[in-house]
Amino acid sequence: MIVGREDGVGDEESRSFMEMVEEVMTMIGVSTASDFFPAVARVVDWGGVRKRMRVVDIKKEEMLQRLINEKRRRRKEKGKTDQKSMLEALLDLQEEEPENYSDQIIKAMIVALFFGGTDTSSVTIEWAMSLLLNHPGVLHKARTEIDSLVGKDHRLIQEQDLPNLPYLQAIINETLRLYPAAPLLAPHRSHEECVVGGSYRVPNGTILLVNAWAIHRDPELWTEPEVFRPERFVEGGEGTVGGGIKMLPFGMGRRRCPGEVMAMRLVGLALGMMIQCFEWERDGEGLIDMEETGGLILHKADPLRVMYRPRQSMVDLLSQIETF
């Protein structure tokens, strides 16, 4: 979507891009002694994090500049297309206002979307599938909802169906409550001193991490907070009524995630299709291990492994899909 490429899914370039996203996300979340002794950190590179960052940064710059150059060359050779990717729209703006849309700015925008939008969405899908496999009753209920809206065999679930699938939406919300992809949101720094809640003085330059994970599991805010129960988010449930903010997987205020709507659609569509098209089983006797890793993005400690096969009723439809 960002660079307008439909080819290359799973090829070496896209794989190495994903590896880079994961590497950066891991390093952003690493807590090192430098965070606590910033003066010493200017001379000592604890854990070699700075060096690793520099290596991955050079790789990222090269990759993005290659994408921009390639797009520019294609537009020169073949002319502009009607259906623009985000990169093409930015290159148009660059022609009109070169001082505001330098290659550097375009690369920064692409990076923000890639880093904000890829890992967060994919871990949410992985957590949701893990929860569903541990709660087959919920999986069954979601499938029944999809079947009764979309039918059993003649078409795939589409984006327009999502508003009419409240239980599927509730599953995603409940997943984001228990496993918010960014458990500490994004670090913010105060640019002037302020007082919060009447008694907490926050000096200028303080780095603030909001523990959304803890708020989402606070027993004063949620009944049986550790239990996976999508019904909380069905109309009238405790997740949909009452004042105050107790659900903030996308942050809040002016820096709230700008990709929220897209994320809910993307996760809804992916999860909905997985439920609609396949039978899923756990890989082994026991429950899926739900242990989490630390870091800025909440990954599963043990990546999900599952057994799946197409649902009998979907085989014909699936076999007609070219890319499948």
Query: Which residues, 261 to 320, sit near ligand HEM by CB under 6 A?
Result: 262-263, 267
DSSP, residue by residue, 253-265: GGGS-TTHHHHHH
Stretch that binds ligand HEM, among 34-42, 47-55, 94-102, 250-258 (CB under 6 A): 250-258
Tokens of 261: 């709507």
Q: Are 189 and 203 in contact (CB under 8 A)?
A: no
At 300 the three-state DSSP class reads strand
The window from 11-19, 55-63, 243-251, 314-322 that contacts ligand HEM (CB under 6 A) reads 243-251
3-state SS, one letter per residue, for 74-139: HHHHHCCCCCCCHHHHHHHHHHHCCCCCCHHHHHHHHHHHHHHHHHHHHHHHHHHHHHHHHCHHHH
106 binding ligand HEM? (CB under 6 A): no
**Which residues have C-beta within 8 Å of that of residue 142, sequence separation ≥ 6?**
132, 167, 168, 171, 275
Question: Of 268, 257, 230, which Cα lies nearest the Cα of 125?
Answer: 268
Show contacts with ligand HEM in window 23-82 (CB under 6 A). Answer: none
Q: What value does the CA radius of gyration of the chain take, rounded to a whole number of Å?
A: 22
Which one among 18, 41, 63, 186 touches ligand HEM, defined by CB under 6 A?
186
Q: Using the rule CB under 6 A, which residue among 250, 276, 298, 317 binds ligand HEM?
A: 250
256 binds ligand HEM (CB under 6 A): yes
Binding of ligand HEM at residue 130 (CB under 6 A)?
no
Q: Which is nearer to ligand HEM, 29 or 116 (CB)?
A: 116
Q: Nearest residue by C-beta to ligand HEM?
A: 259
Q: Which position among 29, 47, 237, 259 is part of the footprint of ligand HEM (CB under 6 A)?
A: 259
Distance in Å, CB of 156 to ligand HEM, minimum? 21
Given the structure tokens 């009607």, which residue do they identify? Answer: 82
Stretch that binds ligand HEM, among 21-29, 30-38, 110-118, 226-234 (CB under 6 A): 110-118
Closest CA to 293 of 170, 158, 212, 179: 179
> Of 4, 29, 47, 116, which lies in the binding site for ligand HEM, with binding defined by CB under 6 A?
116
Binding-residue total with ligand HEM (CB under 6 A): 22
**Alpha-carbon span 125 to 280, nearest angstrom:** 14
Report the residue from 26, 124, 130, 276 that binds ligand HEM according to the rule CB under 6 A: 124
Supply the DSSP symbol for 46. Answer: G
User: Could you tell me which stretch among 117-125, 127-135, 142-150, 162-170 binds ligand HEM (CB under 6 A)?
Assistant: 117-125
| Position 120 contacts ligand HEM (CB under 6 A) | yes
Whether 172 and 264 have beta carbons less than 8 Å apart is answered as: yes
What residues line the site for ligand HEM (CB under 6 A)? 112-113, 116-117, 120-121, 124, 181-182, 185-186, 249-251, 255-259, 262-263, 267
